[in-house]
Amino acid sequence: MYRARDRLEHSDWLEQLDEAGQQLDLSQSTRSTAGDLFLTHVPDEERSKPAVAAASLYAAALIDGEERSQRAVADRLDVSRLSIQSRWKDIMADAGFQPPNW
């Protein structure tokens, strides 16, 4: 879980997540879930934050039944598809969800 001040500290990332979610036509609920997942898994290294943000958005879309392709999410957050692929299952599992087995 994260602290309330984390939301302020990472407000730029939350804005980027929200904008990417809007561009992908995701609901407010999914965008909010993505923000929560990101804040729960935010890495210390600045260079890892874009990948975690993208994986959080991808996982949130799956959780809320608004699936988008890894490529589409990666393009919106300017990361590689592999960055999402290597992180999204752990993020889902840590949040208490069973990742699909496809």
Domains and CATH numbers, the chain: 4-94 (1.10.472.10)
Global pTM? Answer: 0.93
pLDDT tens figures, 42-80? 988 999 999 999 999 999 999 999 999 999 999 999 999
Residue 50 and residue 77 in contact, taking contact as beta carbons nearer than 8 Å: yes
- pLDDT score recorded for residue 17: 96
Q: How confident is the model at residue 9 (pLDDT cuts 50, 70, 90)?
A: very high
Residue 74 and residue 54 in contact, taking contact as beta carbons nearer than 8 Å: yes
Q: How confident is the model at residue 27 (pLDDT cuts 50, 70, 90)?
A: very high
DSSP letters, the chain, are ---HHHHHHTHHHHHHHHHHHHHTT--HHHHHHHHHHHHHH--SSGGGHHHHHHHHHHHHHHHTT----HHHHHHHHT--HHHHHTTHHHHHHHTT------
